[in-house]
Amino acid sequence: MWRPGGKPACVTRDPEAPAFPHPHLLGIEGLYPWEISCLLDEAEQWVEAGRRARKHDGRLAGLTQINAFFENSTRTLLSFEIAGKRLGADVVNLAAGSSSLKKGETLLDTALTLNAMRPDVIVIRHESSGAVALIAEKVDCPVLNAGDGRHEHPTQALLDALTIRRRKGRIEGLRVAICGDILHSRVARSNFHLLTALGAEVRAVAPPTLMPAFVERLGATAYTDMAAGLEGADVVMMLRLQLERMEGAYVPSTREYFRAFGLTRERLRAAGPDVLVMHPGPMNRGVEIDSAVADDIQRSAITEQVEMGVAVRMACLDVLTRARRGEG
Amino acid sequence: MRPILIRNALLVDPATGKEQAGDLLVAERAIADFGHGLAAPAEAEIVEADGQVLAPGLIDATVFRTDVAAAVAGGITSVLLMPDQSPPLDDPALVERAERLGKPRLWVRPLAAATRGLKGRELAELSLMKEAGAVGVATGRAAIADAQVMLRLLRYAAGLGLVVVSHAECPFLTAGAVATEGEHATRLGLASAPAGAEALQIARDLRLAEEAGAALHFACVSTAEGVELVRRAQARGADVTAGTAPAYALLSETALIGYRSFARLSPPLRSEADREAVRAGLADGTISMLVSRHDPRTEEEKRLPFADAEPGAAGCATLLALGLSLVHDGLLSRAQLLALLSANPARRFGLPGGALERGAPADLLLFDSGSPWRIDADDLPGLAGNTPFDGLPVQGRVRLLLKGGERLI
């Protein structure tokens, strides 16, 4: 559900309304801070549950979850599959390679076909911005955006926020530097919306060719110098550099990119002493991040992010299907 | 054929800007006479105009499809057809065929493809296509990237006395882009090109046209910088004209919110400042043609994620009403609007029409500029209803349309 503008200044939560009143989760933009916090709070229990030997909870038993991934993914698909299965849903995956989209069926026909199988929740990833919202208009069940083009990847931003909140105890007032290919990154966009909604100071650090226009209108301050951008940062979030970016003349080489924007121990000294290093994965070691930093168990939260991913996705699946489970 | 007497109309001649109350008599497919208190010949059909506007049929200077039903509904009696057909109009036989396609209800004036297959490399047979009926030569949906080819095209066309119609977007900067660089494109995560892609192309083409002494027309100008470049070139005497479509005077990039693929246009919608500049350009005459860029698209081409949808909008049926909104806003006078919609394209491309003259073919339009209606994409006359103005209340309806004296509405 899209609402114009960013954070409304003087809107407060209606105590009568459900904590998360939206039928779908298509993006972070337009969500109120308490709606975001509600999803994070819900996820906490699943972090604990995930650490027990028996991880199963049957609340989605009998419900069908379709993971429709029109763009290739390994970790996000796996994470959604595990999340659904731990909640007891019947999870089926539709992967891009085997879909009839390749045979010329239109996206909306595919959506109607999926809908006719009467799923209870559909998780969608698509390479085109806005595609998930388009499908959501045509189906009768909750839709969860697992990444659409360069637009949004809301569960990634939520899992990042959960990771930060658990490590740092808060999000408000933290200085978060998001570094790398921001132009093409849905992760960065969702994080700008989420972190600014929860009161963090957000910095966008990228070479000018990979910095989107008017990024400050999304609440971030732009830095094209890595050292300046990392100054005093509490969290450094690295983004993956797609190796095909060399072709579009965005950057000359991975070597030069690493020199200017790769995260190394030396460079990290400019950041705060307890800086948290994050990466949505998969990492290009030696391109955007040095192995010594990625593997630093004191600072790196990269594997923890993966764990939080399952918990956040369980929370989203649970919350979005409550109405149809009669627990609205 | 029965003569038709239209009584008590407001006769507007966009060629002269003159408005007068009066009657107009159509006989033998031509304007027989107009003035005060014309006597009705025996067996003449009498139309009481009740003070509604009677003007020459509209000449739509840019369409991408021949869509007779949409044109008739919009009060359009002639269209300039872009060469982006399937196959492209790069051969005299294709031009001849395209010209016949709308008859007898619509005159199609084909624009010859500038290069073979519109590929931007070898010149097409411009002279032969001119003989076959091409009224100008166009680069089509895209600019010619190679400056050498463009220069030769301009020189060659100048020798033939053909106006070159150019698409004003740098093809390199706009490769892959579906929106104008800015906050909205960033928020929506859409691939975008800077608005300057238009100015860059206009500046290059202007320079080459002045080098060649050619007549140049920019099919659609949509940015503040583009309008200003054209304005300055006209001031120094360059033979350059420009058109624009209602969308660029009435909408901005905010229409993309919600990924409305009907708002996916080429050129893409611009900023509010650009929209204001386009309006100023229309008001001061820098932009001398208001065109539909009629480009009907099927559901299959538009019911897609924004970036995957085909660009373009249906525009013929709404051109007059949207143009009239600029009159109602006080931006243009009625005669100014009608000049943008008929007299100016006629003059630039040497076409008949666009003027009220005794003896001229009776291509005439009677409309009332006040009656309200709502644009409905599901109910738009023509091949398709892909309009970014869906749901917009507008004013102005065609009451009568004559093509060669034949009543179409």
CB A47 within 8 A of CB A39: no
Closest C-alpha to B394, from B370, B378, B364, B377: B370
Calculate mean pLDDT across residues A140-152.
97
At B175 the pLDDT is: 95
Contact (CB<8Å) B192/A213:
yes
At A123, phi and psi to the nearest 5?
A: -105, 125
Q: How many inter-chain contacts (A to B, CB under 8 Å) are there? A: 73
* C-alpha to C-alpha distance for B322 and B204, rounded to whole angstroms: 32
Instruction: Tell whether the torsion through CA atoms of A54, A59, A63 and A69 is positive or negative.
Output: negative
* Domain segments of chain B as ranges: 4-53+361-407, 57-349
pLDDT band at A328 (very low <50, low <70, confident <90, very high): low
At A99 the pLDDT is: 55
For residue range B289-313, list pLDDT tens digits in order: 999 999 999 988 999 999 999 999 9
At A110 the pLDDT is: 87
At A174, phi and psi to the nearest 5?
A: -75, 155
**Is the model's pLDDT at A242 over the cut of 90?**
no
* C-alpha to C-alpha distance for B138 and B123, rounded to whole angstroms: 11
- Cβ-based neighbour number of residue B6 at 10 Å: 25
At A107 the pLDDT is: 86
At A103 the pLDDT is: 56
**Is the model's pLDDT at A4 over the cut of 70?**
no
At A9 the pLDDT is: 53
The pairing of beta strand B216-218 with beta strand B192-193? unpaired
Token pair 């879909």 is at which residue?
Answer: A99
**Is the model's pLDDT at A96 over the cut of 80?**
no
* C-alpha to C-alpha distance for A221 and A225, rounded to whole angstroms: 12
DSSP A138: T
A318: Cβ contacts below 8 Å, ≥ 6 apart: A42, A59, A60, A87
At B120 the pLDDT is: 97
- Write the burial class of residue A103 (CB in 10 Å: 0-12 exposed, 13-18 middle, 19+ buried): exposed
Helices A154-168 and A186-197, packing angle to 10 deg: 50
For residue range A263-321, list pLDDT tens digits in order: 999 999 999 899 999 999 999 999 999 999 999 999 999 999 999 999 999 999 999 99
B187 to chain A: which residues are within 8 Å by CB? 29, 189, 217-218
CB A179 within 8 A of CB A261: yes
CATH, range B57-349: 3.20.20.140
Which of A134, A184, A250 is the best residue to mutate to test the B interface, defined by the most B CB atoms within 10 Å of its own CB?
A134
At A1 the pLDDT is: 39
Closest C-alpha to B296, from B77, B55, B79, B56: B79
CB A60 within 8 A of CB A321: yes
**Is the model's pLDDT at A14 over the cut of 50?**
yes
pLDDT band at A80 (very low <50, low <70, confident <90, very high): very high
Q: Does A242 touch chain B (CB under 8 A)?
A: no
Assembly ipTM = 0.90
Of the given ranges (A7-11, A128-132, A202-206, B141-145), which has the lowest mean pLDDT? Answer: A7-11
pLDDT band at B136 (very low <50, low <70, confident <90, very high): very high
- Cβ-based neighbour number of residue B19 at 10 Å: 17
Pick the CATH number of B4-53+361-407 from 3.40.50.300, 2.30.40.10, 1.20.1090.10, 1.50.10.20: 2.30.40.10
Point out the residue among B182, B188, B300 whose CB comes nearest to the CB of A130. B188
A157 to chain B: which residues are within 8 Å by CB? none
At A105 the pLDDT is: 74
Q: Does B192 touch chain A (CB under 8 A)?
A: yes
**DSSP state string for A213-227:** TTGGGGTEEEES-HH
* C-alpha to C-alpha distance for B407 and B409, rounded to whole angstroms: 6
Contact (CB<8Å) A129/B188:
yes
What's the token pair of residue A239? 């983004």
Closest C-alpha to B265, from B251, B281, B279: B251
CB B72 within 8 A of CB B409: yes
pTM of the entire predicted model? 0.93
CB A133 within 8 A of CB A154: no
N residues, chain B: 409
**Is the model's pLDDT at B126 over the cut of 80?**
yes
Which of A129, A187, A242 is the best residue to mutate to test the B interface, defined by the most B CB atoms within 10 Å of its own CB?
A129
